[in-house]
């Protein structure tokens, strides 16, 4: 599918009054068209293919305005993904990296990756790749691989990086809804950053 159809659907909806505030919220990392999420999703409804279109995703990733990367993430969240897609997803994680797209890619990465890949990613130098590994099991509840989760979280406790400390706490907080005893045990058995402990124990 051509990216032109997506641009034609979104660019007329640009709101210069909103775009500065949206850019400021993302610390001026990217320009924005100024389109709210519900409006953006309605505008492209029916335009996105039902199977993975790597060329479309690449084209959307190259456009300057952040909404186009959000459309790519929406596409990736809905289409079937095979393990061969993990490296492709990693290439997106490390480009135009910020928490918004990285977090949106976490579950697609989880569907496309193997435990061995996530163990490797959890120890990479790139903090965004590590954050994706930390978050890739969000929402799995009883299906969570706790051995893998514990190993990945433990590998990211001493980074000193805000975005990793926050992610580890988020992963613990979410899993505490399913197995609070496991989370209590993890926190009791590890020295964690104050931010991680505060986030991870929120529901305990």
Answer yes or no: do 72 and 113 share one domain. no
Residue 13: give the domain boundaries.
1-80
> What pTM does this model have?
0.96
Per-residue exposure over 150-184, b if at least 16 CB sit within 10 Å of its own CB, e if not: eebbebbeebeeebbbbbbbbbbbbbbeeeeebbe
Answer yes or no: do 47 and 112 share one domain. no
Q: Where does the pLDDT of residue 69 fall: very low under 50, low under 70, confident under 90, or very high at 90 and above?
A: very high
Answer yes or no: do 9 and 106 share one domain. no
Answer yes or no: do 125 and 187 share one domain. yes
Q: Where does the pLDDT of residue 83 fall: very low under 50, low under 70, confident under 90, or very high at 90 and above?
A: confident
C-alpha span between 52 and 48 (Å, rounded): 9
**CATH classification of the domain holding 26:** 1.20.1660.10
pLDDT value of residue 192: 97
Q: Indicate if the pLDDT at residue 1 is higher than 80.
A: no
| Model pLDDT for residues 95-131, shown as the tens digit of each residue | 999 999 999 999 999 999 999 999 999 999 999 999 9
C-alpha span between 111 and 117 (Å, rounded): 12
| Model pLDDT for residues 9-35, shown as the tens digit of each residue | 999 999 999 999 999 999 999 999 999
Q: Where does the pLDDT of residue 91 fall: very low under 50, low under 70, confident under 90, or very high at 90 and above?
A: very high
User: Which of residues 56, 80, 104 is at a domain's end?
Assistant: 80
Mean pLDDT, residues 134-154 taken together: 98
Answer yes or no: do 136 and 76 share one domain. no
Q: Indicate if the pLDDT at residue 158 is higher than 90.
A: no
Answer yes or no: do 96 and 146 share one domain. yes
Answer yes or no: do 6 and 58 share one domain. yes
C-alpha span between 160 and 146 (Å, rounded): 24
CA dist 104 → 17, 81, 110, 131, 147 (Å): 25, 15, 11, 11, 24
Mean pLDDT, residues 56-85 taken together: 97
User: Which of residues 80, 106, 121 is at a domain's end?
Assistant: 80
**CATH classification of the domain holding 124:** 1.25.10.90
Answer yes or no: do 76 and 107 share one domain. no
Mean pLDDT for the chain? 97
Answer yes or no: do 166 and 89 share one domain. yes
Kindly write down the DSSP assignment for every residue of 163-187, as one continuous string.
HHHHHHHHHHHHHHTT-HHHHHHHH
Q: Collect all residues with Cβ–Cβ distance below 8 Å to 32 and sequence separation of at least 6.
A: 18, 19, 22, 23, 26, 65, 66, 67
Percentage of residues of the chain with pLDDT beyond 70: 100
Q: Indicate if the pLDDT at residue 2 is higher than 90.
A: no
**Is residue 110 exposed (0-12), middle (13-18) or buried (19+ Cβ within 10 Å)?**
buried
Percentage of residues of the chain with pLDDT beyond 90: 97
Mean pLDDT, residues 143-164 taken together: 97
C-alpha span between 139 and 143 (Å, rounded): 9
Answer yes or no: do 49 and 139 share one domain. no
User: Which of residues 62, 80, 98 is at a domain's end?
Assistant: 80
Answer yes or no: do 96 and 152 share one domain. yes
Angle at 112 between CA 9 and CA 143, to 5 degrees: 115
Answer yes or no: do 76 and 90 share one domain. no
> How many domains does the chain divide into?
2
């Amino acid at each position: 599918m051509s990216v032109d159809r997506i641009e034609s659907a979104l660019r007329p909806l640009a709101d210069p009054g909103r775009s500065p505030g949206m850019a400021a919220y993302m610390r001026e990392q990217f320009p924005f068209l100024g389109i709210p999420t519900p409006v953006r999703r309605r505008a492209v409804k029916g335009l996105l293919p039902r199977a993975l279109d790597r060329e479309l995703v690449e084209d959307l990733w190259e456009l300057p305005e952040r909404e186009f990367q959000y459309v790519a993430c929406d596409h990736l969240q809905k289409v079937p993904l095979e393990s061969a897609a993990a490296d492709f997803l990693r290439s997106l994680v490390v480009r135009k990296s910020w928490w918004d797209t990285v977090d949106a890619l976490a579950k697609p990465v989880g569907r496309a990756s193997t435990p061995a890949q996530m163990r490797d990613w959890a120890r990479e130098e790139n903090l965004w790749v590590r954050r994706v590994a930390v978050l890739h099991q969000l929402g799995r509840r009883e299906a969570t691989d706790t051995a893998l989760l514990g190993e990945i979280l433990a590998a990211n406790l001493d980074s000193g990086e805000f975005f990793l400390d926050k992610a580890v706490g988020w992963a613990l907080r979410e899993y505490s809804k399913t197995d609070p005893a496991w989370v209590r045990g993890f926190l009791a058995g590890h020295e964690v950053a104050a931010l991680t402990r505060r986030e991870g124990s929120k529901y305990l």
